[in-house]
């Protein structure tokens, strides 16, 4: 199945102990697409400003992404600036400029309305709902969010959660929305809010999938040198959803394999700034590292 992703295409400025980079191509949809593209056709739904570099748009097109619903609007592209210190587990946001994202109203082509696999990457839940209402009968819908929306638009988020199959969320956000500190209890509480499954990302500690039928924990792939964690969660989601879209079914075995591919994709993401590493990835790279991962976990 083809895969449609709604999210952000941004220009990021990032500082880590490994160095500093300005105006990197980033955003949730960009990072997601770099891993998802290895499995299936990816249709990107986002907005950019008139200042968006032409060569970056050409780059996205060179990645074989469908850009029919990437809209250029009057104004400036969404920009984010952040800094990582210490363990690099989270960034300190130094500046956010919403630009055209502040008035973004997503729309897709008539043909794209029939796409069966949809990922609503981190953005305003009102925008996520608008996009979802344009789709005909998607077979699989997953959603990501963040604490900002949990705190500022909780009611809207709860409404859209009732319409999705998988809620992808990090551990801090899972605890915040559920009110539960234990992640199993948090998963169960979030499941009761509507989604059939809850996939909790734990950064360097891996991920855990909660469903009524089974619980599946997956450790992270051990990376020796972490350069830039920006977009690792989105890259994980891209690998996960890309594999599900390619498989065309959602069984326990397929879900576990999808989480493994997402985990491996994220491990490549953190090894370089922005999309430097993931834009060069091949499916062979993923499979080779996954093979090593399987041997590590065998006991």
At 299, the pLDDT band (50, 70, 90 cuts) reads: confident
Structure tokens at 232: 């690792």
Check pLDDT > 90 for residue 86: no
Q: What is the Cα–Cα distance from 192 to 146, expressed in whole angstroms?
A: 19
At 237, the pLDDT band (50, 70, 90 cuts) reads: very high
Segment 244-269 mean pLDDT: 97
Check pLDDT > 90 for residue 65: yes
DSSP per-residue letters across 71-139: EEESS---EEEEEE-TT-SSEEEEEEE-GGGGG------TTGGG-SEEEE-SS-HHHHHHHHHH-S--S
Check pLDDT > 80 for residue 24: yes
State the chain's mean pLDDT as an integer.
95
Q: How many CB atoms lie within 10 A of CB 216?
A: 15
Q: How far is CA 47 from CA 81, 86, 197, 201, 294, in A?
A: 18, 33, 29, 26, 39
Output 216-224 pairs: Cβ under 8 A, ≥24 positions apart: 216/252, 216/255, 216/256, 216/259, 218/256, 218/259, 218/260, 218/263, 219/263, 219/297, 220/263, 220/266, 220/267, 221/263, 221/264, 221/266, 221/267, 221/289, 221/293, 222/296, 223/267, 223/270, 223/271
Q: What is the Cα–Cα distance from 225 to 219, expressed in whole angstroms?
A: 17
Q: Which pLDDT value is given to residue 203? A: 87
Give residue limits of the domains in the chain. 3-293
Check pLDDT > 90 for residue 138: yes
Check pLDDT > 90 for residue 105: yes
Check pLDDT > 90 for residue 204: no
Correct CATH for 3-293 of 3.40.1360.10, 3.40.1390.10, 3.40.1190.20, 3.10.450.50: 3.40.1190.20
pTM: 0.96
Q: What is the pLDDT of residues 190-201, one digit of tens each?
A: 999 999 999 999
């Amino acid at each position: 199945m083809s895969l449609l992703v709604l999210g952000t295409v941004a220009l990021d400025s990032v500082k880590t102990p490994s160095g500093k980079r300005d105006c990197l191509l980033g955003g949730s949809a960009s990072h997601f697409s770099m891993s998802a593209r290895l499995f299936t056709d990816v249709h990107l739904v986002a907005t950019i400003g008139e200042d968006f570099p032409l060569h970056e748009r050409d780059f996205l097109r060179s990645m074989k992404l469908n850009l029919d619903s990437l809209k250029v609007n009057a104004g400036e592209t969404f920009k984010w600036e952040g800094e990582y210190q210490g363990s690099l587990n989270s960034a300190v946001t130094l500046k956010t400029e919403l630009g055209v994202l502040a008035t973004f109203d997503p729309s897709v082509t008539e043909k794209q309305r029939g796409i069966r696999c949809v990922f609503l990457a981190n953005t305003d839940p009102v925008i996520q709902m608008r996009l979802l209402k344009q789709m005909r009968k998607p077979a699989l819908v997953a959603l990501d969010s963040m604490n900002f929306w949990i705190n500022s638009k909780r009611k809207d988020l709860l409404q859209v959660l009732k319409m999705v199959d998988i809620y992808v969320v990090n551990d801090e956000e899972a605890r915040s929305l559920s009110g539960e500190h234990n992640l199993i209890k948090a998963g169960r509480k979030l499941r009761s809010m509507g989604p059939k499954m809850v996939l909790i990302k734990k950064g360097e500690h891996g991920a855990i999938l909660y469903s009524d039928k089974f619980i599946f924990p997956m450790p992270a792939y051990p990376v020796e040198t972490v350069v830039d964690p920006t977009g690792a969660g989105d890259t994980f989601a891209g690998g996960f959803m890309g594999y599900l879209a390619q498989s065309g079914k959602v069984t326990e075995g397929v879900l576990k394999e999808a989480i493994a591919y997402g985990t491996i994709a994220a491990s490549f993401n953190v090894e370089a700034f922005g999309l430097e590493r993931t834009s060069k990835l091949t499916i062979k790279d993923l499979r080779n590292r996954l093979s090593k991962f399987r041997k590590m976990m065998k006991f």
